[in-house]
Amino acid sequence: MPDNANNTVQLDQPIKRDGQVIDALTFRKPAAGELRGLSLVSVLNMDVDALAALLPRISTPTIHKPEVLAMDPADILAAGIVVAGFLQQRGAQADSPSA
């Protein structure tokens, strides 16, 4: 299981919800069923609609699609990078320059 520190995104623009401020999101690796209805190519291309569908399924705390769509572009990009890392096989991760 990957270290949660690598799966956490500190938000440049926190999400405000009902008096709460969410300043960080932790993501977990999606199971195949959580990718249902999504194109892996769209997810890897960091298509905003694909991420808006996927991120609520795998985030802690849970966020909602409208909140994803209102995220700062830098924050959704950071989340997309975390998700893209989940979709690589372990061998490919070890070979990547950032590993």
Question: Where are the domains positioned within the chain?
Answer: 1-7+53-90
Could you report the per-residue pLDDT of 16-68, keeping only the tens digit for each?
999 999 999 999 999 999 999 999 999 999 999 999 999 999 999 999 999 99
Q: How far apart are CA 9 and CA 25, in angstroms?
A: 5
- pTM for this entry: 0.84
Of 25, 40, 6, 5, nearest to 72 by C-alpha is: 25
Helices (H), 1-99: 40-44, 48-58, 65-69, 73-86, 90-95
What is the reported pLDDT for 92?
Answer: 62
Cβ contact 72:13 at 8 Å:
yes
